Chain A
Amino acid sequence: MTIPDTTVQASTNDGSPSSTGTNGHHRAVEVQKRHRVVIRFAGDSGDGMQLTGDRFTSEAAAFGNDLATLPNFPAEIRAPAGTLPGVSSFQLHFADYDILTPGDRPDVLVAMNPAALKANIADLPLGAILIANSDEFNKRNLTKVGYEANPLEDDSLSAYTVHSVQMATLARGALAETGLSKKDAERAKNMFALGLLCWMYHRPTESTERFLREKFARRPDLAEANVLAFRAGWNFGETTESFAVTYEVDPAPLDTGTYRQITGNTALAYGIVAAGQQSGLPVFLGSYPITPASDILHELSKHKAFGVTTFQAEDEISGIGSAIGAAFGGALGVTTTSGPGISLKSEATGLAVALELPLLVIDVQRGGPSTGLPTRTEQSDLLQAMFGRNGESPLPVIAPRSPGDCFDAAIEATRLAVTYRTPVILLSDGSLANGSEPWKVPDVADLPTIDPGFATEANATDGSGEFWPYQRDDDTLARPWAVPGTAGLEHRIGGLEKADGKGSISYDPDNHDRMVRLRQAKIDNIPVPDLVVDDPDGDAELLVLGWGSTYGPIGAGARRVRAMGLSVAQAHLRHLNPLPANLGDVLRGYKTVLLPEMNLGQLALLLRGRYLVDVKSYTKVSGLPFQAEELQNLFLDALKGELL
């Protein structure tokens, strides 16, 4: 769906939130209204593009736009300067209505060097704006990425609106009085770029200045330099005739409430803190640093005042082992990982299944196999989460669908883990982890409470007055959680098969068969909410099903198709194990069920096997999220019956 842009002529006072004081636009420039804009900042890994994008995002959020972001950076910390592998980018989509994805193609590309241009120009639609830092377009840098001539100076970019700006030179000039070295001064060029973009898009600037002063609190000279460069960029737009147009994107009419910007990893960390508070359990995170999950460890390590202990373990196994130990002691045990880390945790996860202790295993999926693509996204750990342990080893699996949803998913995972005394795998992914969106801050009073229900007394059914650690609750089939320190309930548990009820070691064949089925039944019988289908027309014959982070692109694709007057139904799974009870009926209710996944069809395999429904699988494993246009075309093909 293309929303037409309206163009309005504005006078000097354009009425934007930044139209007063030093932030006000004074020069008479044309102001065009836009419903949505996609900006991509691209530069060298060391150019500060993630920070720049993040700041623009904060300003868009504070202004009240809806937004979605896609950071995209290499796994290397500093690949050789000026090379294609070293290009880091941050894409931001902001709008005056609720949007679902970080956008397919940028309306504006900020390219800090030739490599950034080369790596991103193919994504730029004709007519889009290119703002290039011409200082870096020297012969050496051009040659490095294979440009024979400077594209800023020949006509190869004539299809775009090109602004060549000597960002480093201008930043250095602005900082001439500060006494900073040439190198340090030029490093502020990203703030110059940010200032320029803020001017172009009428963004408020106070929060960025405040942010810079806080970030560089220990180096006031650097703080001031960055603020100066930021203002210089803004003033450059204001005073240079080459920029004839600025753009306004109004705030989005979101639901009433208080909002903030949040990334998936932060939301997940907050969800864990909240789960600890709502259950009254101390939180223990055992974790080994791994991209892109480490930020959860970083965030939780700040919240000790909430009774959150973080333990940076010697390896992935110790991360989960220590969490299991904490769970045995009555804490909310959590471990976080990604990629090969989830493989290393398999054995201990199986132990937690056998022990039937509450545990959160958080897997921020990334490209695989092996080390794979550490900084890119994928959904390829689903089958491992489901089955990747020796023996029949069932556990609940849930997946958040947006960055903000990671908060609720963490609380739900905790509720399942504590109620059913089981490890739960939460499948986030790289795009959720680092992507951000406006998040309606929940009212703490509305959060669910979770009752740990610790065992306090003997429970033997034979009148012996003993405590039987595997005597199950009739309703949930969960076993009692009796923590050390509880007199009279001393017991031993372990990975060996246990006698049903009493819990002592048992090699009895019938007992093993019964215990395998009991563990399976406990998970299978967990009630989960029915799948809700969004079918605004009510007559759709095509159902697009998804799980996890594909929610945004599927929704955006469906919107576009519906705007063409066609019907498409959308449904998104949060609970992947157990699956909603109505799922079979839903699947059988549509002529075509289409399932896009960022793997080679893992959920499709499960659903085909379980429901004998011919689910059509559409897959992509490029390390990048689906694009709205791509899915729109897919849905159109499906409606035409042209699916492969």
Chain B
Amino acid sequence: MSALDLGLPSLGGLDGVPTTDEKQTAKEYTSDQEVRWCPGCGDYAVLAAVRGFLPQLGLRRENVVFVSGIGCSSRFPYYLNTYGMHSIHGRAPTIATGLAVTRPDLSVFVVTGDGDALSIGGNHLIHAVRRNINMTILLFNNRIYGLTKGQYSPTSEVGKITKSTPMGSLDQPFNPLSVVLGAEATFVARTIDANRAQLTEVLTAAAAHRGTSFVEIYQDCPIFNDGAFDVIRRGGDEAKQRIIPLKHGEPIRFGLDGEFGVVHSEDGYGLRVAPIAEVGEDAVVVHDEHRDDPSFAFALSRLSDQDLTHTVTGVFRNVDRLAYDDGARQQLKDARSTGQADLGTLLRGKDTWTVGTD
């Protein structure tokens, strides 16, 4: 069901949020709080990108809210001069849900990490994206627990040696995008902390999307998982051979000279990487982020190897589906237009009797 099925106008992600004509700056979005992340933390780059990107939205600053859970990344709201809540571990999507449902005039962001969103808060994450509630979720994935000083996380590679796993971690990691695509998220993207241009581009598209926008940001933890993403983070030839950038409507190709392409795998179920010289230009899949069936985006998510041999970045999926909160507000509106709301009538109900009148 989409908004159109309900007779609602097609909405943009920021429709209903008051805007301003006044020019805004990153400085205005900067709070007076001293930033307390470790030197070299990838969070700084994301914070700078967000401070730079928010003024471009042209929203009234008081109508922007950042909600976070617990973890290094969840300190994010303190550093922005908007409304914000630093809540409890894993629960930010629930708080954002109540806020988004009751306040269509707010632009709601959730900042979370791999432990916060995928371990303790995994349930809330999948249900938020399933419902498609108007919020933008930024998941900072550094594949480690930072604030608790270096235990493996649900996105750490198998065999990870940490304080809590001296003989290596045993559990299979989540691929965060596969998880949310399994829950049929309507907007799914991935980017890297060091790539400010793509970060800004993806965040802009996420904000414009009506419903839940999920953005995974690979982020470096220089203290407990230093260099985890270096092979794709440092740019240059190595990154070019590993990163598969997505552009809607364009063939999916990459490599030093674009010599590799994404093609359908032989079994017909998924996608694989192939040298274009072998498979031919026509075999290269053209990216369509609007495909309704999430299987395509899911197949793209499976191309991202845990060891970063390949990593797909950009917008995987961007489809229109009724946002829960739009539907919930419409039900209230419908009830108000057809039903009476007289408290006395409600309290009396259908069957009353009267005792004495004197």
Interface of A with B (CB < 8 Å)?
58, 61-64, 207, 251, 253-261, 270, 273-274, 277, 282, 284, 286, 303-309, 311, 313-315, 317-318, 320-331, 333, 347-348, 351, 355, 441-444, 484-496, 504-505
Q: How far is the CA of A348 from the CA of B332 in the complex (A)?
A: 27
Q: How far is the CA of A504 from the CA of B87 in the complex (A)?
A: 14
Interface of B with A (CB < 8 Å)?
18, 31, 33, 60-63, 65, 67, 70, 77-78, 80-88, 91, 93-103, 105-106, 123-124, 127, 328, 331-332, 334-336, 338-341, 343-344, 346-349, 351-358
Which secondary structure dominates where chain A touches chain B?
Answer: mixed
Q: How far is the CA of A200 from the CA of B54 in the complex (A)?
A: 75
Tell me whether B123 and A324 are in contact (CB under 8 A).
Answer: no
Q: How far is the CA of A421 from the CA of B199 in the complex (A)?
A: 39
Which residue of B has the minimal Cβ distance to A207?
Answer: B351
Given contacts A255-B355, A304-B332, A325 and B96 within 8 Å (CB-CB):
yes
Distance between A266 CB and nearest chain B CB, rounded to angstroms: 9
Which residue of A has the minimal Cβ distance to B70?
Answer: A495
Given contacts A486-B62, A504-B33, A492 and B98 within 8 Å (CB-CB):
no
Residues of chain B contacted by A254 (CB below 8 angstroms): 355
Q: Which of B98, B338, B344, B356 has most chain A Cβ within 10 Å?
A: B98
Tell me whether B81 and A490 are in contact (CB under 8 A).
Answer: yes
Given contacts A304-B335, A325-B95, A490-B83, A485 and B352 within 8 Å (CB-CB):
no
Which residue of A has the minimal Cβ distance to B100?
Answer: A325
Which of A256, A347, A348, A488 sits near B355, CB closer than 8 Å?
A256
Which residue of B has the minimal Cβ distance to A310?
Answer: B328
Distance between B341 CB and nearest chain A CB, rounded to angstroms: 4
Tell me whether B83 and A491 are in contact (CB under 8 A).
Answer: yes
Distance between A565 CB and nearest chain B CB, rounded to angstroms: 31
Distance between A579 CB and nearest chain B CB, rounded to angstroms: 30
Residues of chain B contacted by A255 (CB below 8 angstroms): 355-356
Tell me whether B31 and A492 are in contact (CB under 8 A).
Answer: yes
Given contacts A259-B352, A484-B65, A495-B86, A324 and B95 within 8 Å (CB-CB):
yes
Q: How far is the CA of A565 from the CA of B344 in the complex (A)?
A: 43
Tell me whether A484 and B328 are in contact (CB under 8 A).
Answer: no
Residues of chain B contacted by A273 (CB below 8 angstroms): 343, 346
Residues of chain A contacted by B82 (CB below 8 angstroms): 490
Tell me whether B355 and A321 are in contact (CB under 8 A).
Answer: no
Residues of chain A contacted by B124 (CB below 8 angstroms): 314, 317-318, 321
Distance between A326 CB and nearest chain B CB, rounded to angstroms: 4
Residues of chain B contacted by A307 (CB below 8 angstroms): 332, 336, 341
Residues of chain A contacted by B61 (CB below 8 angstroms): 487, 490
Which of B18, B99, B351, B358 sits near A62, CB closer than 8 Å?
B351
Q: How far is the CA of A411 from the CA of B279 in the complex (A)?
A: 71
Tell me whether B336 and A489 are in contact (CB under 8 A).
Answer: no
Q: Which of A61, A305, A505 has most chain B Cβ within 10 Å?
A: A305
Residues of chain B contacted by A207 (CB below 8 angstroms): 351
Q: How far is the CA of A574 from the CA of B343 in the complex (A)?
A: 25
Question: What would 6 more interface pairs be, CB under 8 Å, given A322-B101, A441-B352?
Answer: A304-B331, A324-B87, A484-B99, A486-B62, A505-B33, A505-B78
Given contacts A261-B351, A318-B97, A305 and B340 within 8 Å (CB-CB):
yes
Given contacts A254-B355, A485-B103, A442 and B347 within 8 Å (CB-CB):
yes
Tell me whether B94 and A260 are in contact (CB under 8 A).
Answer: no
Distance between B118 CB and nearest chain A CB, rounded to angstroms: 15
Given contacts A311-B101, A495-B88, A321 and B94 within 8 Å (CB-CB):
yes
Tell me whether B352 and A260 are in contact (CB under 8 A).
Answer: yes
Tell me whether B99 and A328 are in contact (CB under 8 A).
Answer: yes
Distance between A404 CB and nearest chain B CB, rounded to angstroms: 11
Given contacts A258-B348, A325-B94, A504-B33, A309 and B101 within 8 Å (CB-CB):
yes
Tell me whether A326 and B63 are in contact (CB under 8 A).
Answer: no
Tell me whether B98 and A284 are in contact (CB under 8 A).
Answer: yes
Tell me whether B351 and A260 are in contact (CB under 8 A).
Answer: yes
Which of A327, A329, A488, A492 sits near B106, CB closer than 8 Å?
A329
Q: How far is the CA of A333 from the CA of B85 in the complex (A)?
A: 16
Which residue of A has the minimal Cβ distance to B99?
Answer: A325
